[in-house]
Amino acid sequence: MAILHTRLPRLASLAVALGVVLAPASGGAQPAYPFATPAFGLATAPDGSLLVADAGAGIVELRRGAGALVVELPGVTDMAPIGRGDMFAITGGGDGPGAAKLYRISRGKVRMIADLGLYEATVNPDPPEVNPNPFDVAALSGGEALVADAGGNDLLIVNAAGEIDWVATLPVEPVSTDNIKALFGCPAGPPNICGLPPAIPAQPVATSIAIGPDGAYYVGELKGFPAPTGASKVWRIEPGTRHARCGTSPACTVVADGFTSIVDLAFGKDGTLYVVELDEASWFAIEVLPGAAVGGTVNACDLATATCSAIATDLTMPAAVSIGKRGEVFALVGSLIPGGASVITLQP
């Protein structure tokens, strides 16, 4: 990623863009499984076990304090359980033959059902760049899946026959350059950074999708370069929407904002929306200037009152959150640290 650009058209691949590996963690919770790193997605299976998308190997199941690789799928960024031993899974962007695809997994057997990269290359709902990077997936009824494409800036839907359509695109918006200047120590920093105007356009980078209790689609954005703080939003998209341009379409509304580098969303059993922020100093502090990272946050939001509060702070690279069968809140942390990824309990 060229940090000298005044803006990045898109994060070429979030899995690669955030793929800076740091020193192994010391102390704290010990991993139940030696993840190949990076680890991105987290989901609760119908039987209560936890599933982790280990991009270095495949899908790992955590059960009773132990972990096992249950599906080999290198490049996987997320999975969405459908039933016992049945799930959707997606792979992120890249040049390999298995990249940017949606898979259906049944009893350990992997079947590709949609080529998301080809769809981006041919349809490209958010032109002009072609940059597929599926990052989050959610299961709908009737065998359909929703996919948040972090590179494509859009939300896709795939039916049971593998047919793809686009639901909505997120808008490019002007954001403050204050954070990137502070990270580089301006005014003493590089002239090309310190000389940036007060605000420049930033790509939305759709990182997360969750289905609300109302059936609507909730999408979280990360905000690309210049990596602002407090500028990431959660969008609500009406169920059944097709071809909406968020920012102008009435089918899209902002229901929560003021976040920094959102990487995951999940709804609790009581309707609480949990929002994961990768780092309060932005993704840039992890990717390019890891010494500037200050820790990530998991927030609990009551959308009825439009209020959010942090339930966990100072987390090391939190990547995902999932709700257990009894309402527990789990988080995947240390996601980019070799041998350091682990799942912790935030609320029993």
- What's the topology of domain 14-347? Neuraminidase (2.120.10)
What global pTM score does this model have?
0.92
Distance separating alpha carbons of residues 297 and 251, to the nearest angstrom: 29
- Which tens digit of pLDDT belongs to each residue from 40-57? 999 999 999 999 999 999
Average pLDDT, the chain: 91
Cis peptide before 81 (omega within 30 of 0): no
* pLDDT at 188 > cutoff 90: yes
With 0-12 / 13-18 / 19 or more C-beta atoms within 10 angstroms meaning exposed / middle / buried, residue 189 is middle
**291 C-beta neighbours (distance < 10 Å), count:** 7
Arithmetic mean of pLDDT, 140-151: 97
Portion of the chain with pLDDT greater than 90, in percent: 83
Distance separating alpha carbons of residues 316 and 327, to the nearest angstrom: 23
- Which tens digit of pLDDT belongs to each residue from 239-289? 999 999 999 999 999 999 999 999 999 999 999 999 999 999 999 999 888
- Which tens digit of pLDDT belongs to each residue from 59-106? 999 998 789 999 999 999 999 999 888 999 999 998 888 999 999 999
Helix H or strand E segment including 284: helix 283-287
* pLDDT at 6 > cutoff 50: no
Arithmetic mean of pLDDT, 165-171: 98
Structure tokens at 206: 């759709």
